[in-house]
Amino acid sequence: MATEIMMPKMGFDMTEGTVASWLKQVGEAVKKGEPVVEIETDKTTIQVEAETAGVLVAITVPAGEKVPVNTPIGMIGAAGESIAAKAPAPAPAVSAAPAVVAAPPAPAAVAASAPAPVAASAAAANAAPVTMPKMGFDMTEGTVASWLKQVGDAVKKGEPVVEIETDKTTIQVEAESSGKLLQIVVAAGERVPVNTVIGYIGDGNVLAGNVLAGNVLAAPQPVAPATPAVAAPAIAPQAPIDNSGANATPIARRMADELKLDLTKIKGTGPEGRVTKGDIEAAVAAGTASASVASGATSAAAANGRVIASPYAKKLAAELSVDLARTQGSGPEGRIVSDDVKKAAAAGILVSAQPSAAPAPTVAVAQPVAVSAPVVAQPAAPAPKAATPPPAGTRREPLSKMRQTIASRLAQSKGTVPHYYVATSVEMDAALAMRVQINEALKAEGVKVSVNDLVLRATALTIKKFPKFNATFAGDAIDYRENINLGVAVAMEGGLIVINVRDVDKKTLKQIGAEVPAIAARVREGKGQPGDMGGQTFTTSNLGMYGVEDVIPIINQPDSGILGIGNAIQTPVVKDGQIVVRSMMKLWLAADHRVTDGAEGAQFVAELKRLLENPWALVL
């Protein structure tokens, strides 16, 4: 008796899916657990595994067709089994019933086993999706750096399950519920858009379709006949690399281990020659210390004519017309990931136009099969323009991803946002004296309030009076944010990041003093959590600890303002006709002229000055 292959439900809000491609043809033998079809949703692409062994006896939904969830899309049965009476009725939401392709008699040697119980769908397993988090307004995609749990492992609510890497940092995503890790949808090393489902946690059985290193098979890609296959040179096995004692940051060490790089061959630019993440990226980009990378990047072509690639890489390859059969994979066991596809596209490794295939043997069909339009190969992309070599006597280093992000973000802000600036000098003697008293009272609790914490609290209270500085320009409108979340610029290896301190107006100085250093430490160590970055509504940048007097910042979009904070410096001032020495601190407000005007900016800094010069207002 044939077993139906159903359109799976891969999320609580999923109502339909598209058959991206069939990995087996009618009449082919299928093993239990073997991928037979690729399903694409508006968020991701997965492979559906066979629930039982046998033969693919029918394809009821051809590739490219979109149908509701739980619709039969194919059948697996015994060799030679007739399925004429088993064609599913068309789903109500589909205008035309998909064609049923009957299988020709298969060789008697292929035996069909009895249907076996299978893993439930995500919905049936009461599974909650783990999604790629959005950690900043301009973040569009992220990379799964590593899974901290394996499929089947128990997970507690709040426990880190996966590390996500962006262009600027690495964070740990915590479980929103307790249960088991039922499925890994996106493997380590894969880059996908934000809000993409990357895994499932629930209390049911382990789900089918887990993406494990090296076992995701893509359908064969056509290769131009004129391009003969070139055998890869034999590579001698390498001795394991031990980077445990290397002078490197934790992120750099993990990257080196994943890329099989020897850290002793990479020159570090950090303190005391420490190898940083930027050094790893520069070494890979320059091709230095990468013998192991070159040897470890094996061709993804397998002996059975298929290639090992992630679902997202295959989808991207189809969009860019990249030939996966000639693409080198940098993932585990030579697996092709999205970055490999992008590099192949830039190098012009594209699918060439193919001559028409010979007519296939006649197959009995219950209904006419729709024929898709012919695929026309796109022209090869132009070769990238060679970079101008540096002048004589100049050393050039490639920009790290963090540096590229900073350059892009700030150039965009300075070029598109009309900034205006307002400055004031604040007498900080009373605030500094109050801070001493507060820290003495908190000494037993190990909490210390900084000058920056006082400014954050004063800024949040000022924003409550001037809500335009908690808004963002929206083209033909202004969006006012309800929460006052303050961004704090933090220097770190290779650049800077902005951490997010939420609801500052509702927190005490003690809470702020404990929270800011904790968030900064997590992010610097690559252990950031969702909410630690991105989501700020106003930003501060303090360089006072370096003795700087004036900090004139650039707006951190989409905010409408940013505050530059200088050092409190002993300065002679005139008080009541007398020259006295006071601790004076300069504050610079940069604001978006599309949202607010100079008069409002002047009132904003005046209120900020009033609160800091009367600091008990920050406590009461």
Rounded to 10 deg, the angle between the 277-286 and 250-259 helix axes is 30
How far apart, in whole angstroms, are the C-alpha atoms of residue 68 and residue 64?
13
Fold equal for 128-212 and 404-618: no
How far apart, in whole angstroms, are the C-alpha atoms of residue 391 and residue 196?
45
* Confidence band of 218 (pLDDT split at 50, 70, 90): very low
36-45, 163-172, 592-601: segment of lowest average pLDDT: 36-45
What would the pLDDT profile of 52-85 be if each residue is shown by its tens digit?
888 888 888 888 888 888 888 988 888 766 554 3
What would the pLDDT profile of 299-334 be if each residue is shown by its tens digit?
444 444 556 776 667 777 887 888 888 888 876 557
| CA distances from residue 33 to 48, 149, 584 in whole angstroms, order as listed | 9, 22, 71
How far apart, in whole angstroms, are the C-alpha atoms of residue 432 and residue 561?
26
**Strands 486-492, 471-473: parallel, antiparallel or unpaired by DSSP?**
unpaired
Q: Please report where in the chains the tokens 């059969």 appear, as a residue.
A: 325
Burial class (CB in 10 A: 0-12, 13-18, 19+), 319: exposed
Considering 231-245, 337-351, 403-417, 467-481, the range whose residues carry the highest mean pLDDT is 467-481
State percent of the chain over pLDDT 90.
Answer: 30
Q: Is 80 exceeded by the pLDDT of residue 147? A: yes
Q: Is 80 exceeded by the pLDDT of residue 473? A: yes
Nearest 10 degrees: CA dihedral of 469, 474, 475, 477? -80
Those residues with Cβ within 8 angstroms of residue 250's Cβ, 6 or more apart along the chain or in another chain: 525, 526
User: How confident is the model at residue 13, as a pLDDT?
Assistant: 55
Those residues with Cβ within 8 angstroms of residue 99's Cβ, 6 or more apart along the chain or in another chain: 60, 62, 365, 366, 367, 368, 369, 370
Residue that wins the pLDDT comparison between 96 and 130: 130
User: How confident is the model at residue 386, as a pLDDT?
Assistant: 54
What would the pLDDT profile of 80-113 be if each residue is shown by its tens digit?
665 543 434 444 343 334 444 444 444 333 333 3
Q: Which residues are catalytic?
A: 593, 597
Q: Is the pTM of this model over 0.95?
A: no
- Do residues 583 and 429 touch, judged by C-beta distance below 8 A? yes
Those residues with Cβ within 8 angstroms of residue 504's Cβ, 6 or more apart along the chain or in another chain: 456, 457, 459, 460, 484, 485, 486, 512
User: How confident is the model at residue 190, as a pLDDT?
Assistant: 84
**Strands 538-542, 561-575: parallel, antiparallel or unpaired by DSSP?**
parallel
User: How confident is the model at residue 419, as a pLDDT?
Assistant: 97
CATH number of the domain at 404-618, please? 3.30.559.10
**Residue 342 phi/psi, 5° resolution?**
-65, -40
May I ask the CATH architecture of the domain 250-346? Irregular (4.10)
| CA distances from residue 488 to 252, 298, 405, 450, 461 in whole angstroms, order as listed | 25, 43, 17, 13, 16
| Secondary-structure class of domain 128-212 per CATH | mainly beta
From the options 2.130.10.10, 2.30.130.10, 2.40.50.100, 3.40.50.300, give the CATH code of 3-102: 2.40.50.100
Sketch the domain layout of the chain as residue ranges.
3-102, 128-212, 250-346, 404-618
